[in-house]
Amino acid sequence: MDVENMYYHGRINVPYKWYVGATGSRFLVGLRDGKEFWGITCPKCGKVYVPPLKTCPECFVPNEEWVRLADTGTVESFTVAHYSNGVSPSDIPYVLGLIKMDGADGSFLHYIGDADPADVKVGMRVKAVFADERTGNIMDIKHFAPVNE
């Protein structure tokens, strides 16, 4: 006997919290309280990670030394989103960029704002724009905006 497939359509709202660890906490507190970027250095290879990582993914040793970084960087790559995913804090179209923070070795993923998406370019210099009200999460950085140097 053929039976029609039936579906329950629900919307699950699951509040939760997730401990970001001591390393992540220090990073977020720096953003929230001082608008400061802190990276962490691998004692073996010397790479500076921001956001900070507890362990160097290449050397597998604990990262130990914190270093204060500037709030500026260079766009290494980006994409323009033309579809809303329902959770993005930005209206479409919006730009997500990989930003190499000055003094760091890796890239930092965040929004690029205050710019027409058509004007965003690889190699563009950007500066963090902080939220007026910071609460201790990554969106304490509102976005990165182009700077003329």
Q: Is 131 in the site for Zn ion (CB under 5 A)?
A: no
Residues 56-115 that bind Zn ion (CB under 5 A): 56, 58-59
Shortest Å distance, C-beta 95 to Zn ion: 31
Residue 28 CA, chain-centre distance (Å), reads 11
Least Å distance, CB 66 to Zn ion, is 15
Choice between 64 and 114, CB closer to Zn ion:
64
Q: Token digits for 140?
A: 């304490």
Q: Counting Cβ atoms within 10 Å, is residue 36 exposed (0-12), middle (13-18) or buried (19+)?
A: middle
Answer for which of 21, 25, 33, 45 binds Zn ion (CB under 5 A) is: 45
Distance CA 108, CA 113 (A): 15
- Element (DSSP H or E) covering residue 147: none
Give how many residues touch Zn ion by CB under 5 A.
6
Tokens 């597998």 correspond to 60
Tell me the closest approach of the beta carbon of residue 106 to Zn ion, in angstroms. Answer: 11
Smaller CB separation from Zn ion, 40 or 56: 56
Is residue 44 at the binding interface for Zn ion, with CB under 5 A as the rule?
yes
Instruction: Please give the Cα distance from 137 to 129 (Å, whole number).
Output: 14
| Interface positions with Zn ion (CB under 5 A) | 42, 44-45, 56, 58-59
